[in-house]
Amino acid sequence: MKRIGLIVFAGLIILVLAVSFNHQDEANATIAWTNEYRPGMGVDATNLTDALQELNPDALKADKPQNSAVVTITTPAVVVAEPDNPSNNADTKNTQTKKESNSKPLVVAEANNSSASKAPVSTPTPSRAASGSSSGVLATAKKYMGVRYVYGGESPSGFDCSGFTQYVFDKSGVDLPRTASDQASVGVKVSRSELAPGDLVFFHTGGSSSINHVGIYAGSNQFIHASRTKGITLTSMDDSYYKNILSTSRRVAR
Residue pair 178/167 in contact (Cβ under 8 Å)? The answer is no
Q: Which of 128, 225, 250, 251 is catalytic?
A: 225
Residue pair 82/91 in contact (Cβ under 8 Å)? The answer is no
From CA 26, how far away is CA 32, in angstroms rounded?
A: 10
Q: Which of 137, 138, 161, 253 is catalytic?
A: 161
Residues facing residue 224 across a β-bridge: 216, 234
213 is catalytic: yes
Cα(first)–Cα(last) distance of the chain, in Å?
165
225 is catalytic: yes
Relative to beta strand 154-155, strand 222-227 is unpaired
What is the DSSP-derived secondary structure letter of residue 156?
Answer: T
Q: Which of 213, 250, 251, 254 is catalytic?
A: 213
- Dihedral over Cα of 189, 155, 149, 134: its sign: positive
| Contacts of residue 70, Cβ cutoff 8 Å, sequence gap at least 6 | none
48 phi and psi, to 5 degrees?
Answer: -60, -40
68 is catalytic: no
Residues serving a catalytic function are 161, 213, 225
